Each structure stands twice: as structure tokens, then as C-alpha cells.
Structure 1
Amino acid sequence: MRKVKKIIAHIPIIGYLLRIALGILLLPRHLVSLRHAVDRNEKAIKSLQDGLLRANRQIIELEEQLEELKKQR
């Protein structure tokens, strides 16, 4: 394939058309990989959000405990 690309690259119009055809043929593969990346990022964001919610709940509980300790003094 590389030899063909090199030979065709010397003929500008054919090389240009070949690059367009290869781009069109490879586009679905790129779109699928991008979709998988988006899915992974969405899962990571959801995980971070869940972690932040747990941390916020813990902070609220600790603040309540601190207030109770201050009242006991």
C-alpha cells in the first residue's frame, strides 16, 4: 500500500482522490473510537460526581458532629 501511495502521490489529482477515499473509509472507525472515548469520559465524570456527593455528605456529618461537641463543652 505504501508503494502505491508513493506512486500515486506523484500524480496530484489521483493522490488527492485517494486520500479523500481513505478518509471516508476510515471515518466510521474514527467515529467509533471517539464515541468510546466519550463514553469513558462520561463514566469518569459520573464517578467523580458520586465521589463529590459522598464527600459533601461526610463534610455535613462532620460539621454536625463538631457542633454537637461544641455544645457539650
Structure 2
Amino acid sequence: RPEFALGKKKTVEDFMTRPAVYFDEDESLEDICKCLLEVTFRRVPVTKEGKVVGIVSRPDVLKCIQGQMGREANV
């Protein structure tokens, strides 16, 4: 691929997404769902006080929703 040819020094900055998409650790599940529906990312960093503390993925969110639905069905 041309972008990886010798002599062309690429950095992560050349490929990263801007602006950065991330969730604060206390964001609501509803807000996270809305965002993941709007963007093409499968995983998004989770931050606390500006530092990455984890990653949330679409499957993580779906499992959480499925668990909530199961608990509501048992009530």
C-alpha cells in the first residue's frame, strides 16, 4: 500500500479520528446507546478525570440491555 511505502513516515496522528469520541464513566446507558448508534465505532474509551480507565463495546452495551430486560421480565 502506498501509505506504507519506505520513506513515508506515518504516525498514529495521520490515522486517528478527530474529534476523539469517549465516554465518561458515569454516562448513562441511554447516552452511550445513542452515540454507538450514530458512529461506526465498535469500541469507545471510557474516561475518569481525563484518563482512560476502560473500553466499552457494542456487545457490552447489548449484554447490559439484555440483562435489564431479563430482570424486568421476572418482576
Q: More strand by proportion, 1 or 2?
A: 2
TM-score range, shorter-chain basis?
0.3 to 0.5
TM-score computed with the length of structure 1 as normaliser: 0.34
Structure ranking higher on relative contact order (CA contacts 8 Å, 6+ apart): 2
Q: More helix by proportion, 1 or 2?
A: 1
